[in-house]
Amino acid sequence: MAGHHRAPEGDRHHPGTVAWRDPGGEVPDRLSQNGIPGEGGDRAVWRAVAALPPRQRTVIAYRYLGGLDYTTIAGLLGGSADAARRAAADGMKTLRAQRHTFQEQEQ
């Protein structure tokens, strides 16, 4: 059923959902290594992310990998948007402090 899409507001069975839309173009022959933990030159970064406290790690993943806003993250994890924002800020501060370590390990 090419070209058939639900309305952005969803349907009566799944309110608020949006149907997947084909972006067009060709499918690449190989998987991208971007963003895959342990692949490419970013192993040190992924180790540092894994070492973060669980809440910081989860908020960073939802925010920076999942693209969720802090209000949505707070709804998923419990707590406030401000607490989610603080957890992300604390986690990013820790990762930035270790940035020199990442650069040394990549060389």
Domain ranges in the chain are 43-106
Q: What is the pTM of this model?
A: 0.59
**Angle 12-13-17 from CA coordinates, rounded to 5°:** 85
Q: CATH number of the domain at 43-106, out of 3.40.50.1000, 1.10.10.10, 2.40.160.40, 2.40.160.100? A: 1.10.10.10
Tens digit of each residue's pLDDT (9 = 90 or more) over 24-50:
556 555 555 555 555 555 777 888 899
Q: DSSP alpha helices (H): ranges in the chain?
A: 43-51, 54-60, 70-77, 81-97, 99-106
Is residue 38 within 8 A of residue 70, CB to CB? The reply is no
Task: Indicate the SS3 state at residue 69.
Answer: coil
Tens digit of each residue's pLDDT (9 = 90 or more) over 52-91:
999 999 999 999 889 999 999 999 999 999 999 999 999 9
